[in-house]
């Protein structure tokens, strides 16, 4: 999934300013979100894993994939309005119903220029 990110060649950061770069244009809020439901088989496995405890790898993977998806949707949106960076990126997760969660990534689309 990391290849997906690099193919965009867009800067992403969760800080408001970046040292060495100047914001030349401010393009407003961009966001990307995805709603994922848990796979039945994964749910069963997670139920069994709940007896012994520990990491639920299936869910970790699922959420990571979804988060990358949300990020790339945000990047697409930023690219469409002519930004070359998204700063101040935030993540948010919410449960819609039991078994499905929404992952949201949002940030400010800007045009950055390297200084000096």
Partner 1 sequence: MMELIVFILLVLTGLITGTILERRHYRSIRKREAKLKHILVFSERRPPPNFSGQSFSLVTGSVVISSDYFKTIAAGLKSLVGGRLTSYETLLDRGRREAILRMKEEAAKQGAQAIFNVRLETSTLNQGRKQGIICAEMLAYGTALKASFSDQGVSR
The answer to whether 14 contacts partner 1 (rule: CB under 8 A) is yes
Name the minimum Å distance from CB 77 to partner 1. Answer: 16
- Give the residue from 66, 2, 4 showing the smallest Cα distance to 38: 66
How far from 19 is each of 22, 85, 112, 115, 116, CA to CA, in Å? 8, 14, 11, 9, 12
21/27 with CB nearer partner 1 = 21
Q: Which residues bind partner 1 (CB under 8 A)?
A: 11-20, 38, 46-47, 49-56, 59-60, 63-64, 67, 71, 89-95, 97-99, 101, 114-116
């Amino acid at each position: 999934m990391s290849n997906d990110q690099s193919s965009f060649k867009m800067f992403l950061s969760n800080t408001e300013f970046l040292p060495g770069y100047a914001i030349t244009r401010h393009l407003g809020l961009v966001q990307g979100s995805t709603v994922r439901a848990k796979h039945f088989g994964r749910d069963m496995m997670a139920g069994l894993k709940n007896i012994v405890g520990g990491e639920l790898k299936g869910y970790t993977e699922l959420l990571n994939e979804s988060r990358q998806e949300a990020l790339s949707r945000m990047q697409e949106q930023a690219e469409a309005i002519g930004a070359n960076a998204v700063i101040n990126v935030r993540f948010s997760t919410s449960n819609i119903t039991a078994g499905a969660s929404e992952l949201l990534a949002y940030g400010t689309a800007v045009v950055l220029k390297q200084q000096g």
